[in-house]
Structure 1
């Protein structure tokens, strides 16, 4: 839907940062290819949606890794505010270069007042995050305030029901959709095309690595005490685990993120446990490991006895461009644990051209 807006002219985007220190490849200075357009139409969650241009004030919420996608396609200068733990700034800058630390970071409940205060003309969110509507912010309420909404593609609902399961496409296809769409929305389609080339090159290298005869079973430990918040078959972690040479213990669950009982977790008998690091406190990760080691049914698992824990930032495992770097790190650890044949690949470097 087109919303009539009056916006100040937004000129060409200046160069996003150059060096991807983790990825080992260069980011190209984006050019505003939509400078002469007044609107653009993209497919978002199966619907053709039209957005007014230029887009100059983006509030990015719900998903840290998706902020990485925006950075990778050259959208740094479009960001008016982000929902991102400041402890993740260094991780983002190691992947996409400096700049994110200078963007205002939002904390606490994100309300319509928050968004209006940032003079947003686009809000990015997910149905597993902001667009659940707990604070009153939904795509519909944004539209009534003359603000466009973009739904992160991995959180698309399978039906119109508010309690619908999420996930209508594979995780890598969801990422490709966001990369392509952001390129169109920000007028940085050439940079988005370069990002897709990098993504496909890294995925091809991961898929070329030899698999074990029995792929190791991998559990995602996001959070939880009474039960475990983890990822099912539709989420980004499932795609990451798959290309890294493992199998998600909850791959058969038709959802993105969900809660599993500890009894179910123990019965899944994971070979590797990936601990999501929220970067909120110094003892967060050790607290999660200690909780596993003290829980009956889990402490006797071989994965626990042999300390086959992999600690990775949550910012690499929600849907976004950092996913492919997370997959490389997970593959390296699976090889280190002896659970997959050695690939002979240095996963800290970019694929050769």
Structure 2
């Protein structure tokens, strides 16, 4: 098929999808993390606590509804910079309750329950709802998870990728942009399938890995990805074993224990925040190559280290680019014994 005809066909199919998407019928009531939320109309304004929700808003074309954002790990993607420049950054990390309600949002979208929840550092859902401000929690952080156990919560069930698609669909329904949500989910599913296909046929049965997020200090145990969480899902999807067996989201594990497990490769987080010394991935690399315990690990000696955006290790739209980066890196590794 000639290119002009193909472009025309894709445009027609896109318009068809837009035409078929059913509009939201208000009042809309939906269940969110054990709590009913009712909307009489699409919110005119919103605040996000968490980069995942912020970039979902941008991907859905809802940047004009955002009046405040907070809790960032990486700089915004280039394609969202124009939208993001118009939104006030309330805090790089956790904002105050007063800063959030001061924007008078008609919705607060929250990535992590430890920010807004029973022991939320920003506040509880009830505090917001008493002011008639609904809070939408990302299902990925409340479904099959106990956030009262462990520093970052404990997974009772393995993370499900459908929780991301569900967030996109529900936000699209709340704001009456269902066609955009359907299109975004279709694109993400296709990217995930393509990433998995990248390593298909590669013998990975004896391959293992470790995700290192950060460390409160470089000379103490690091925060690494536990079993059942988002990084574990990424590894399982690609056929790789996680050497960490804890069900905590991001447990601390000693380097001696990690070295004994001797993972085939390491994935280390790159982030633009500087909350801890090891937020700087260059310092992670320096530590791995100089520490007497870590420098003798196979992954370090053979330079099997993958640099991945921290945000790609979370339940966000960046998880899919993270899968692409990870699959490409694995495919390029020489895993011969």
TM-score (norm 1): 0.76
8 A Cα contact 1:249 1:268, kept in partner? yes
Specify the alignment match of 1:275 in structure 2: 268
Specify the alignment match of 2:142 in structure 1: 156
2:85 matches 1:101:
yes
Q: Secondary structure at the match of 2:252?
A: strand
Question: What do the CA deviations read for 1:68-122 (whole angstroms, capped 9, x no partner)?
Answer: 2232223222211111549612xx234x574123211122541221111111121
**Between Structure 1 and Structure 2, which shows a larger proportion of helix residues?**
2
> Superposition pairs for residues 126-145 of structure 1, below 5 Å?
126-131=112-117, 133=119, 135-145=121-131
Q: Which shifted more, 225-234 or 48-57?
A: 48-57
Q: Secondary structure at the match of 2:127?
A: helix
| CA–CA separation in structure 1 for the residues paired with 2:71 and 2:35 | 28
Q: Secondary structure at the match of 1:88?
A: coil
Q: 1:279 to 1:140 in 2, by over 3 A?
A: same
> Superposition pairs for residues 272-351 of structure 1, below 5 Å?
272-280=265-273, 284-339=280-335
| CA–CA separation in structure 1 for the residues paired with 2:251 and 2:40 | 35
Instruction: Indicate the RMSD between aligned Cα atoms, in angstroms.
Output: 3.1
Question: What do the CA deviations read for 1:148-175 (whole angstroms, capped 9, x no partner)?
Answer: 1111122106477733624656331211
8 A Cα contact 1:215 1:245, kept in partner? no
TM-score (norm 2): 0.79
Deviation, 1:247, is 2.6
Q: 1:160 to 1:238 in 2, by over 3 A?
A: closer
2:132 matches 1:146:
yes
| CA–CA separation in structure 1 for the residues paired with 2:157 and 2:36 | 15
Q: 1:72 to 1:228 in 2, by over 3 A?
A: same
8 A Cα contact 1:270 1:303, kept in partner? yes
Q: 1:334 to 1:88 in 2, by over 3 A?
A: same
> Superposition pairs for residues 24-35 of structure 1, below 5 Å?
none
Q: Which shifted more, 195-204 or 157-166?
A: 157-166
| CA–CA separation in structure 2 for the residues paired with 1:316 and 1:161 | 21
Specify the alignment match of 1:6 in structure 2: none
Q: Which shifted more, 104-113 or 277-286?
A: 277-286
Q: 1:83 to 1:53 in 2, by over 3 A?
A: same
> Superposition pairs for residues 53-132 of structure 1, below 5 Å?
53-62=41-50, 64-85=51-72, 88-89=75-76, 92-94=77-79, 98-107=82-91, 109-125=94-110, 126-131=112-117
> Superposition pairs for residues 247-286 of structure 1, below 5 Å?
247-250=241-244, 252-280=245-273, 284-286=280-282
Q: Using CA pairs below 8 Å that are at least 6 residues apart, which structure has the higher relative contact order?
A: 1
8 A Cα contact 1:243 1:327, kept in partner? no
> Is there any run of 5+ residues in structure 2 with no aligned partner, and where?
1-13
| CA–CA separation in structure 2 for the residues paired with 1:323 and 1:231 | 14
